[in-house]
Structure 1
Amino acid sequence: MVPLTALLLATACGAVTAGGHAECTEIGTPVGIRVDVGHPDVTAVEIEVCRDGSCATPAVELRPASRAVESTCTGTGRDDSCSARSEPTGGRHGFADVPGLPTTPVAVTARLLDQSGSVLVEREIRVTPDMAYPNGPDCPAGGPQAGISVGADGSITEQ
């Protein structure tokens, strides 16, 4: 009885199947808009997301952005490990939770604020959210996401 119980527990936890494919987990997917800021003077972002005549103003908390600059691995096997070193990019990033975000175009107005709270840039952009697949394309979608990128010049583009 113990081997059967162990097998059921391993299967329930997303174990690798005999064919070598990972099973789909029930990992959560945040639904909303990613915000990446490369403008050096922006310390806060306010966004408004409008669709079908209604608007939402979700909170966006910006955090320092970083990128991987070096990585090393002990091998290529399942039990091997990898590590990476990161460094700050000078930019910031955040995420705005937007429950009910559709996969059709929405209008996003972004207000970029400096440290004193003054608006540096205010622009509207239309974005089309795509379904996110946190377990890969062979598993069910988790929910829609979109992204905007703010350039050092204040330009705002869809990611």
Structure 2
Amino acid sequence: MVAARNLIADPFRPSGMWRRTWPLGVLLLATACGAIDAGGTACTAIGTRTGVSVDVEHPGVVSGTIEVCWDDFCATPGLELYPSSRVVGTTCTGASPDDSCSARSEPTEGKHGFADLPQLPVKPVTATLKLLDQSGSALVDRNIALTPEMVYPNGPDCPAGGPQAGISVGADGSITER
């Protein structure tokens, strides 16, 4: 009879997956709460990635590396490139906030990625971007001056989230700062 009693679930005792995930739920609940500044603006605790984004239109690019330097310091964060897409059609059932909208997307021939750099400063840096084809040959190998800027995920009336910079690579291999 003791074995049978142990099979009955106690609703107040976490078990199985709940026991492993409840700390995550508490953490998410705590971080989802925001603050209201003195002006009455609600500021959430949304996170912001700090680093350099890369958008590539150059055909044939399959991978890349980036090195970012400032002062006497250089960092080489990981840069994984993913297929890009674009919105090609939208529909909405109306114009009121309760109405719904949808968007249809299609893949492009481009790629995008983000190099996380938690220590990225808000001052000019130099980036060396290398983009490679399937055989490992360099299609693009260029230096570019970047000026990271603070990002405000909740708008300018809330605290900054961290600095970001961006690089765009055209189909012809041209590079511009975004």
Report the secondary structure of 2:43's partner residue: coil
Report the secondary structure of 2:64's partner residue: strand
- For residues 156 and 53 of structure 1, the distance between their equivalents in structure 2, rounded to whole angstroms, comes to 24
- For residues 136 and 87 of structure 1, the distance between their equivalents in structure 2, rounded to whole angstroms, comes to 30
Which among 37, 41, 45 is matched to residue 64 of structure 2? Answer: 45
Q: Which range moved further: 76-85 or 97-106?
A: 76-85
User: TM-score of the superposition, structure 1-length normalised?
Assistant: 0.84
Q: How does 1:58-69 map to 2 (within 5 A)?
A: 58-69=77-88
RMSD of aligned Cα (Å): 2.0
TM-superposed deviation, 1:113: 0.5
- Which has the larger share of helix? 2
Which among 110, 113, 117 is matched to residue 91 of structure 1? Answer: 110
Corresponding position of 1:140: 159
Corresponding position of 1:57: 76
- For residues 173 and 103 of structure 2, the distance between their equivalents in structure 1, rounded to whole angstroms, comes to 31
Corresponding position of 2:143: 124
Aligned length: 144
Deviation string for 1:50-107 (max 9, x for gaps)? 0111100011110011111111222233322221111112100000001111111100
Note the residue ranges of structure 1 that are not aligned, 5 or more in a row. 1-8, 15-20
Corresponding position of 1:17: none
User: TM-score of the superposition, structure 2-length normalised?
Assistant: 0.75
Report the secondary structure of 1:131's partner residue: strand
Q: Could you tell me whether the CA contact under 8 Å between 2:51 and 2:116 is conserved in 1?
A: yes
Corresponding position of 2:12: none
Report the secondary structure of 2:60's partner residue: coil
Note the residue ranges of structure 2 that are not aligned, 5 or more in a row. 1-28, 35-39
1:108 correspondence with 2:139: no
Corresponding position of 1:78: 97
Deviation string for 1:7-52 (max 9, x for gaps)? xx9xx756xxxxxx87210000000000000100111110000011
- For residues 100 and 148 of structure 2, the distance between their equivalents in structure 1, rounded to whole angstroms, comes to 34
Which among 142, 152, 155 is matched to residue 171 of structure 2? Answer: 152
- For residues 140 and 84 of structure 1, the distance between their equivalents in structure 2, rounded to whole angstroms, comes to 31
Larger RCO (CA within 8 A; separation ≥ 6): 1
What code does the residue aligned with 1:104 have?
K
